[in-house]
Amino acid sequence: MAADTSATLTRRALLGAFAATAATAAPYYANAAGFLRGGGDIRRLRMHSQRTGETLETIYWIEGEYIREALREINYFMRDWRTDGVTSIDNRAIDIMAAAHGLLEVDEPYMLLSGYRSPQTNAMLRRRSSGVAKNSLHLKGQAADLRLNSRSVSQMARAAEACRAGGVGRYSRSNFVHMDCGTVRSWGR
Protein backbone atom coordinates (compact mmCIF):
# COMPACT_ATOMS: atom_id res chain seq x y z
CA MET A 1 0.00 0.00 0.00
CA ALA A 2 2.85 2.39 0.75
CA ALA A 3 4.15 1.84 -2.77
CA ASP A 4 0.76 2.89 -4.16
CA THR A 5 0.75 6.05 -2.05
CA SER A 6 4.19 7.07 -3.25
CA ALA A 7 3.13 6.32 -6.81
CA THR A 8 0.54 9.08 -6.50
CA LEU A 9 3.38 11.58 -6.24
CA THR A 10 3.37 12.18 -9.95
CA ARG A 11 5.94 13.99 -11.99
CA ARG A 12 3.44 16.85 -12.15
CA ALA A 13 3.25 17.08 -8.34
CA LEU A 14 7.02 16.95 -8.10
CA LEU A 15 7.29 19.73 -10.69
CA GLY A 16 4.82 21.83 -8.72
CA ALA A 17 6.92 21.48 -5.60
CA PHE A 18 10.06 22.26 -7.57
CA ALA A 19 8.46 25.30 -9.17
CA ALA A 20 7.65 26.78 -5.79
CA THR A 21 11.36 27.15 -5.13
CA ALA A 22 12.71 27.71 -8.63
CA ALA A 23 13.23 30.97 -10.43
CA THR A 24 11.28 31.02 -13.67
CA ALA A 25 13.01 32.14 -16.83
CA ALA A 26 11.37 33.04 -20.10
CA PRO A 27 11.00 30.25 -22.68
CA TYR A 28 13.43 29.71 -25.51
CA TYR A 29 12.10 29.01 -28.98
CA ALA A 30 15.02 27.85 -31.11
CA ASN A 31 13.35 28.28 -34.52
CA ALA A 32 12.51 31.98 -34.14
CA ALA A 33 15.28 34.57 -34.09
CA GLY A 34 15.02 36.95 -31.17
CA PHE A 35 12.54 34.82 -29.21
CA LEU A 36 14.15 35.21 -25.78
CA ARG A 37 17.56 33.71 -25.95
CA GLY A 38 18.89 31.85 -22.96
CA GLY A 39 15.60 30.56 -21.61
CA GLY A 40 15.38 28.60 -18.43
CA ASP A 41 14.46 25.06 -17.50
CA ILE A 42 10.80 25.84 -16.77
CA ARG A 43 7.99 27.29 -18.86
CA ARG A 44 4.82 28.43 -17.12
CA LEU A 45 1.46 29.78 -18.22
CA ARG A 46 -0.99 31.73 -16.06
CA MET A 47 -4.46 32.70 -17.31
CA HIS A 48 -7.96 33.44 -16.10
CA SER A 49 -11.24 33.25 -18.03
CA GLN A 50 -14.12 35.50 -17.01
CA ARG A 51 -16.33 33.51 -19.38
CA THR A 52 -15.93 30.26 -17.43
CA GLY A 53 -14.63 31.59 -14.11
CA GLU A 54 -11.66 29.22 -14.40
CA THR A 55 -8.04 30.00 -13.61
CA LEU A 56 -5.04 28.15 -15.00
CA GLU A 57 -1.56 28.20 -13.53
CA THR A 58 0.65 25.46 -14.85
CA ILE A 59 4.19 24.52 -15.63
CA TYR A 60 3.93 22.98 -19.07
CA TRP A 61 7.60 22.45 -19.98
CA ILE A 62 10.61 21.45 -17.95
CA GLU A 63 14.17 20.65 -18.95
CA GLY A 64 13.44 20.30 -22.65
CA GLU A 65 10.18 18.37 -22.35
CA TYR A 66 6.56 19.40 -22.71
CA ILE A 67 4.39 17.94 -19.96
CA ARG A 68 1.51 16.14 -21.64
CA GLU A 69 -0.90 16.49 -18.71
CA ALA A 70 -0.28 20.25 -18.51
CA LEU A 71 -0.84 20.61 -22.26
CA ARG A 72 -4.19 18.80 -21.89
CA GLU A 73 -5.13 21.27 -19.14
CA ILE A 74 -4.22 24.18 -21.42
CA ASN A 75 -6.21 22.66 -24.30
CA TYR A 76 -9.28 22.37 -22.10
CA PHE A 77 -8.85 25.80 -20.54
CA MET A 78 -8.55 27.45 -23.97
CA ARG A 79 -11.59 25.61 -25.34
CA ASP A 80 -14.41 27.31 -27.23
CA TRP A 81 -16.59 28.18 -24.23
CA ARG A 82 -19.64 28.67 -26.46
CA THR A 83 -19.64 25.08 -27.80
CA ASP A 84 -17.33 23.44 -25.24
CA GLY A 85 -15.21 22.31 -28.21
CA VAL A 86 -11.60 21.43 -27.42
CA THR A 87 -8.59 21.17 -29.74
CA SER A 88 -4.85 20.84 -29.30
CA ILE A 89 -3.37 24.28 -28.80
CA ASP A 90 -0.17 24.64 -30.79
CA ASN A 91 2.85 24.49 -28.47
CA ARG A 92 4.38 27.42 -30.36
CA ALA A 93 1.40 29.62 -29.46
CA ILE A 94 1.72 28.60 -25.82
CA ASP A 95 5.44 29.43 -25.88
CA ILE A 96 4.77 32.88 -27.37
CA MET A 97 2.15 33.69 -24.72
CA ALA A 98 4.44 32.51 -21.93
CA ALA A 99 7.47 34.36 -23.28
CA ALA A 100 5.60 37.64 -23.73
CA HIS A 101 4.19 37.33 -20.22
CA GLY A 102 7.71 36.79 -18.89
CA LEU A 103 8.98 39.87 -20.71
CA LEU A 104 6.23 41.97 -19.12
CA GLU A 105 7.41 40.97 -15.64
CA VAL A 106 3.93 40.77 -14.13
CA ASP A 107 2.39 38.46 -11.56
CA GLU A 108 -1.09 39.03 -12.96
CA PRO A 109 -2.40 36.15 -15.09
CA TYR A 110 -3.56 36.84 -18.62
CA MET A 111 -7.27 37.32 -19.09
CA LEU A 112 -8.17 34.89 -21.90
CA LEU A 113 -10.81 36.40 -24.16
CA SER A 114 -10.58 33.85 -26.97
CA GLY A 115 -8.50 30.75 -27.55
CA TYR A 116 -9.75 27.93 -29.74
CA ARG A 117 -12.84 28.75 -31.82
CA SER A 118 -15.05 26.14 -33.41
CA PRO A 119 -16.12 26.77 -37.02
CA GLN A 120 -19.63 27.58 -35.72
CA THR A 121 -18.34 30.21 -33.29
CA ASN A 122 -16.00 31.74 -35.85
CA ALA A 123 -18.86 32.00 -38.39
CA MET A 124 -21.12 33.64 -35.80
CA LEU A 125 -18.39 36.15 -34.85
CA ARG A 126 -17.77 36.91 -38.55
CA ARG A 127 -21.46 37.78 -38.96
CA ARG A 128 -21.14 40.25 -36.05
CA SER A 129 -17.77 41.81 -36.94
CA SER A 130 -15.73 42.47 -40.05
CA GLY A 131 -12.55 42.01 -37.97
CA VAL A 132 -12.87 38.22 -37.69
CA ALA A 133 -10.88 36.28 -40.31
CA LYS A 134 -12.64 33.51 -42.24
CA ASN A 135 -9.60 31.25 -41.81
CA SER A 136 -8.67 32.51 -38.36
CA LEU A 137 -5.75 30.79 -36.62
CA HIS A 138 -8.11 30.46 -33.64
CA LEU A 139 -9.77 27.64 -35.65
CA LYS A 140 -6.48 25.71 -35.59
CA GLY A 141 -5.62 26.32 -31.93
CA GLN A 142 -2.81 28.65 -32.98
CA ALA A 143 -4.01 31.97 -31.54
CA ALA A 144 -5.24 33.69 -28.40
CA ASP A 145 -6.76 37.06 -27.58
CA LEU A 146 -5.41 38.27 -24.25
CA ARG A 147 -5.64 41.18 -21.84
CA LEU A 148 -3.72 42.35 -18.76
CA ASN A 149 -5.17 45.02 -16.49
CA SER A 150 -1.71 46.10 -15.37
CA ARG A 151 -0.28 46.58 -18.86
CA SER A 152 -1.43 48.53 -21.89
CA VAL A 153 -2.24 47.00 -25.26
CA SER A 154 0.90 48.68 -26.58
CA GLN A 155 3.11 47.17 -23.85
CA MET A 156 1.67 43.69 -24.39
CA ALA A 157 2.04 43.94 -28.16
CA ARG A 158 5.65 45.09 -27.91
CA ALA A 159 6.47 42.12 -25.67
CA ALA A 160 4.84 39.68 -28.10
CA GLU A 161 6.55 41.33 -31.09
CA ALA A 162 9.92 41.03 -29.32
CA CYS A 163 9.51 37.26 -29.57
CA ARG A 164 9.60 37.50 -33.40
CA ALA A 165 7.70 34.23 -33.55
CA GLY A 166 4.20 34.96 -34.89
CA GLY A 167 1.44 37.46 -35.49
CA VAL A 168 0.56 40.24 -33.09
CA GLY A 169 -2.60 42.30 -33.36
CA ARG A 170 -3.34 45.41 -31.32
CA TYR A 171 -7.01 45.99 -30.52
CA SER A 172 -6.79 49.13 -28.41
CA ARG A 173 -10.49 50.00 -28.52
CA SER A 174 -11.38 46.56 -27.20
CA ASN A 175 -8.33 46.46 -24.89
CA PHE A 176 -6.74 43.18 -25.98
CA VAL A 177 -3.82 41.76 -27.93
CA HIS A 178 -4.01 38.89 -30.41
CA MET A 179 -1.00 36.55 -30.37
CA ASP A 180 -0.53 33.69 -32.81
CA CYS A 181 2.15 31.34 -34.10
CA GLY A 182 1.55 32.09 -37.77
CA THR A 183 3.87 34.17 -39.92
CA VAL A 184 5.63 37.07 -38.21
CA ARG A 185 3.51 40.17 -38.77
CA SER A 186 1.69 42.87 -36.81
CA TRP A 187 -1.35 45.07 -37.24
CA GLY A 188 -3.61 47.50 -35.39
CA ARG A 189 -3.07 50.42 -33.09
Contact, 179 vs 168, CB < 8 A? yes
- Global pTM value: 0.79
Mean pLDDT lowest among 36-45, 70-79, 173-182: 36-45
At position 59, the amino acid (one-letter code) is I
pLDDT tens string 58-99: 999 998 899 999 999 999 999 999 999 999 999 999 999 999
At 144 the pLDDT is 98
Sequence ranges of the domains in the chain: 2-188
Q: At what angle do helices 153-162 and 91-104 cross, to 10 degrees?
A: 120
Question: How would residue 3 be classed by pLDDT, with cut points 50, 70 and 90?
Answer: very low
